Structure 1
Amino acid sequence: MNTRRKFIKSAGLASAALGLGLPQMACSSTKADPLFKISLAEWSLNKQLFAGKMDHLDFPILTKKVGISAVEYVNQFFMDKAKDKAYLKEMKTRAEGEGVRSVLIMCDSEGMMGAATAEERAQTVENHKKWVEAAKFLGCHSIRVNAYSSVPWSTSKEDFDKSSDLASDGLHSLCEFADDFDINVLIENHGGFSSNGKWLAEMIKKADHPRAGTLPDFGNFRIANVNGKAVSYDSYRGVDELMPRAKGVSLKPKVWDDNGNESPLDYTKMMKLVLAHDFHEYVGIEHGEEGREWESIEAIRIELEKTRTQLE
């Protein structure tokens, strides 16, 4: 139990004892803040959303019905609404009406953060600015962007370093803008160089800005496909490398090893690793089995809650 938790628990015990006029040691403990909180990533419902079977505006309402009180939006489902204040206000009203926290916006299709030229990187930064402003309006703490580079993935050190230099330059520029809005800019391991934990951790350091952070995704350590075989990075090691700058984590119920092998997530092992970095923020579920999306989401929530109880 960390110092903050000990203080909260001790304060709760003392207050209860004094209020009842009992010796402090005789009273039962009060529950501190949870070890970690649970959110839902909108991508979990991507098939329903793309098919028009679900309305983006209903996302917080439906999320609350499966016992989750925080959401992570995906810009693809309101791509033309970033500057539409009436639409954003409706999103905010629906979330707040359900007591649901808006955590972040996952941003795609806005250009390469690690594009080859300064002009292209500047355009990518410009494209993301509206999402920073939307995140601020909605009450989010971050946006998630991608660290894609014009340098094709390879195993050469030259490409490793060059792609990192380009992506960190673009990220730093966006963070400079986001700082004025009190918004963090997070990079998720999302294929290619970014799914190498060492590369991403080093790139974040190169960006050299307190707003630059990570969003480790347990299941996204698949780097590439070479001749039909997966090239991957060990998920547990990768998460450990990315946690020092993490502002959130994304849960998929699968992990990878260094040899292209996929296996089920060990919830206890992974969450012990996450908590070892004094992380007590949102664990975002990002998984939805087609045809039973909500059932599978709820099953993961229950498993996460069970793991949390065991670790408290």
Structure 2
Amino acid sequence: MTNRRQFLQYASAAAAATTLATKSSSAFAAASEAPFKISLAEWSLHKMLFDKSKNVTNMDFPKIAKEECGIEAVEYVNQFFKDKANDKKYLGELKQRCDDLGVKSLLIMCDGEGRLGDPNEDARTKAVENHYRWVEAAKFLGCHSIRVNAASGGSYDEQMKLAADGLRRLSQFAAKHDINVIVENHGGLSSNGAWLASTIAKTEMDNCGTLPDFGNFTVRRGKDPEVYDRYKGVNELMPYAKAVSAKSHDFDKDGNETHTDYFKMMEIVLKHGYNGYVGIEYEGGKVSELEGIKLTKQLLERVAAKMA
């Protein structure tokens, strides 16, 4: 399977990417288009969407992305239409709005559906089956993936085995719909790049991959916190990436993100041959959500111009 081959090749690929040497005249120099495309993750607007006084819903998301942010590809979050996964009338209207606007639906980020690596077999099976409707909704909307979590319990190796089992079973169902199952580094061992990369390889499913997030590398909080190196983590996850999440919080006077060196990070992303969508996920609080999205977009555009 492709994942097994990728895993065997991983060490050399990772080493090449971590050098981060200044790129010479690479394939991008001759490319006639930008080295990657920009999309918008719905979580960037979570404050607006959760605030009932704003009267903004998931149905408005494609229009906001296109008309307010100048972005023509969107990544949904299931929390904002949790009861609509099986509602073909609702999904049909959402799809029509996207079609009318010329907006492309890329994926649905799925939370709150159970632990795909739950140590209890019945609970794990229930979690797998809970995601089926989101696979079908993603297919209906024209998405390529659903983003899931790899939460589990037990030792390092036990969690890998359990999460791989749940992900494999879900991916087998999703494969029948031509949908990918992609895992974000999203806390716990999933924020350990080596663990998540190995877990994906263990599924041995071509449609099971990763969604590397630039900022979610806190493995453990509390009195004995553990934070994984974000550049190392993204490098480890990129061989399996089917999407990328550009997390942003704050910006300096020059428009650079203060937590992540976007030029260094995107160098890693591109060295792995990735040229798909990079989704903006703004989570800051010093400027408005719309302004934060625009600042992130401007930064990504500067990165693209430099690396093209």
Structure 2 gaps, min length 5: 1-24, 251-256
Which amino acid is the alignment partner of residue 270 of structure 1?
M
Percent identity, aligned pairs only? 52
Please, what is the CA RMSD of the aligned residues? Answer: 1.8
- Aligned partner of 2:21 in structure 1 is none
Query: Cα distance, 1:188 vs. partner?
Result: 0.3
Question: What displacement does 1:252 show?
Answer: 1.1
Q: How does 1:16-35 map to 2 (within 5 A)?
A: 32-35=32-35
Q: How does 1:1-312 map to 2 (within 5 A)?
A: 6=30, 32-52=32-52, 53=54, 54-65=56-67, 66-151=69-154, 159-227=155-223, 230-253=225-248, 264-290=259-285, 292-312=288-308
SS in 2 for 1:226: coil
* 1: CA distance, partners of 2:124 / 2:44: 30
What's the CA shift for 1:150?
Answer: 3.0
Give, in angstroms, the shift of residue 232 of structure 1. 0.3
What is the distance in 1 between the residues matched to 2:141 and 2:151?
Answer: 26
Quick one: distance in 2 between partners of 1:254 and 1:62?
A: 20
TM-score under structure 2 length normalisation: 0.85
Looking at structure 1, the residues matched to 103 and 83 of structure 2 have their Cα atoms a distance apart, in angstroms, of 23
CA distance in 2, matches of 1:82, 1:253: 29
Q: How many angstroms does 1:55 deviate by?
A: 1.4
SS of equivalent to 2:128: helix
Deviation at 1:125, TM superposition (A): 1.0
Q: How much has 1:48 moved relative to structure 2? A: 1.2
CA distance in 1, matches of 2:28, 2:226: 41
Query: What is the CA distance between 1:118 and its match in structure 2?
Result: 2.3
Instruction: Tell me: CA distance 1:172–1:267, structure 2 relative to 1, closer, same or farther (3 Å).
Output: same
Q: Which AA in structure 2 matches 1:63?
A: A
Does the Cα contact within 8 Å between 1:213 and 1:246 map onto a contact in 2? yes
Q: Residue 288 of structure 1 contacts residue 297 of structure 1 at CA under 8 Å; is this kept in 2? A: no
Query: RCO greater where, 1 or 2, for CA within 8 Å and sep 6 or more?
Result: 2
For residues 249 and 267 of structure 2, the distance between their equivalents in structure 1, rounded to whole angstroms, comes to 16
| Equivalence for 2:11 | none
Rate the CA distance shift 1:117–1:59 in 2: closer, same or farther, 3 A. same
Q: Displacement, 1:230? A: 3.5
Q: For residue 226 of structure 1, report the CA deviation from its aligned partner.
A: 2.8
Q: AA paired with 1:299?
A: L
Distance in 2 of aligned mates of 1:268 and 1:87: 40
1:25 maps to none
Counterpart Cα distance in 2 of 1:242 and 1:98: 33
Deviation at 1:217, TM superposition (A): 0.4
Q: TM-score, normalised by structure 1?
A: 0.84
- The answer on whether the counterparts of 1:114 and 1:149 sit within 8 Å (CA) in structure 2 is yes
The 1-side partners of 2:123 and 2:288 are apart by: 41
What SS does the aligned partner of 1:72 have? strand
Following TM superposition, where does structure 1 have runs of at least 4 consecutive aligned residues deviating by more than 4 angstroms? 1-6
Structure with higher Rg: it is 1
Would the alpha carbon gap of residues 186 and 172 (structure 1) be closer, same or farther in structure 2, given more than 3 Å must change?
same
